[in-house]
């Protein structure tokens, strides 16, 4: 056996390791569950391809007792994992979407996208835009997926994600603001513990130089050709087009003990100053850490997050 097969090139434990022979060993987010009819929420799920080249699918979630005469808001959800691990088929993302679909009475398209380092950014951004075009193809009720044809209200669309997925949701809303998809009306985005960063430390980041270097290193690992921590994809404050964010409402969740907490608050502050005309609110969970809701869904603060998301999605905009 080639000795390089066991030699570690980069160790990003507890997330993943890479080896000198090119092998990638993921240490988290490797378990998957099949789609099903969930007995606790009565939400039904199924996996549907949205791209042939590359071959990618989304997991769709449909709540019980859908009225054929009433179309439901559609949420496009992007999973987290530093652009490198996890999938919409992992147990905690599957569970989270079941609970949210039932609570909010919405259809969810949970997106699988190519991951680094085998497929470095911008692959995940490209795939995330591809799925939106696939969703838009259902506007006349003759798209490839019957659940979207019959039940999805494409005039009431939301993007959401956690951590790196929240970064993707923001970037898709920016691209939507610039390019538009006339078949989709993007109402709002929900950013859960969003992965944003920047060269200059803010807030408590000043005290965390070691953590800062790890986060910066992870970004370069996922996007080697990036311009760095002030890349507008990672630091919206550097984006001259930030004010053209393509929705009217934003909800940001932060957690008090999360190393990304200050970036979530900062995002809301600079968005308000950008010339964007919508409304943004921040919801902070005290005594909690990064993506706590995925690992402790029965936590009262996790339940409160779900209820806040449901309320945000179902809020009727004033005409």
Catalytic center residues: 163
- Residue 197 zone, left/alpha/beta (φ > 0; ψ -120 to 50; rest): beta
Alpha carbon distance 162, 206 (integer Å): 24
For residue 117, cis peptide bond before it (omega within 30 degrees of 0): yes
Sheet order of strands, 16-19 included: 8-12, 16-19, 24-26
The token duo for 114 is 């190519």
DSSP state, 37? B
DSSP code of 167? H
Task: Give the C-alpha separation, 81 to 76, whole Å.
Answer: 17
Between CA 218 and CA 241 the distance in angstroms is: 25
Note whether 194 and 226 are within 8 A (CB). no
Q: Give the three-state DSSP class for 319.
A: coil
Give the whole-angstrom CA distance, residue 99 versus residue 116.
29
Cα atoms found within 13 Å of the Cα of residue 309, Cβ hemisphere only: 33
Distances 77 to 60, 88, 143, 194, 255 between C-alpha atoms, Å: 10, 9, 20, 13, 20
- Pairing relation of β-strands 56-62 and 107-111? antiparallel
């Amino acid at each position: 056996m080639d000795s390089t097969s066991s030699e570690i090139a980069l160790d990003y434990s507890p997330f993943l390791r890479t080896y000198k022979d090119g092998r990638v060993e993921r240490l988290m987010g490797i378990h998957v569950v099949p789609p099903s009819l969930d007995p606790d929420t009565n939400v039904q799920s199924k996996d549907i391809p949205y791209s042939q080249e590359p071959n990618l699918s989304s997991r769709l979630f449909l709540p019980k007792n859908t009225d054929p005469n009433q179309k439901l808001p559609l949420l496009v959800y992007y999973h987290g994992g530093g652009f490198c691990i996890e999938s919409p088929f992992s147990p905690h993302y599957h569970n989270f979407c079941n609970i949210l679909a039932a609570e909010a009475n919405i259809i969810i398209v949970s997106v699988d996208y190519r991951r680094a380092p085998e497929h470095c950014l911008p692959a995940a951004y490209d795939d995330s835009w591809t799925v939106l075009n696939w969703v838009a193809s259902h506007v006349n009720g003759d798209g490839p997926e019957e659940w979207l044809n019959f039940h999805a209200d494409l005039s009431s669309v939301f993007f959401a994600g956690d951590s790196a997925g929240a970064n993707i949701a923001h970037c898709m809303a920016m691209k939507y603001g610039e390019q538009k998809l006339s078949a989709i009306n993007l109402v709002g985005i929900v950013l859960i513990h969003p992965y944003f960063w920047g060269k200059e430390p803010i807030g408590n980041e000043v005290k965390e130089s070691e953590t800062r270097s790890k986060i910066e290193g992870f970004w370069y690992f996922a996007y080697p050709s990036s311009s760095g921590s002030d890349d507008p994809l990672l630091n919206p404050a550097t984006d001259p087009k930030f004010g053209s964010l393509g929705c009217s409402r934003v909800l940001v969740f932060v957690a008090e003990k999360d190393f990304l907490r200050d970036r979530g608050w900062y995002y809301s502050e600079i968005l308000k100053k950008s010339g964007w005309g919508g409304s943004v609110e921040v919801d902070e969970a005290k005594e909690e850490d990064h993506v706590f809701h995925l690992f402790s869904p029965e936590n009262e603060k996790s339940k409160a997050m779900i209820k806040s998301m449901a309320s945000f999605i179902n809020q009727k905009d004033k005409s």
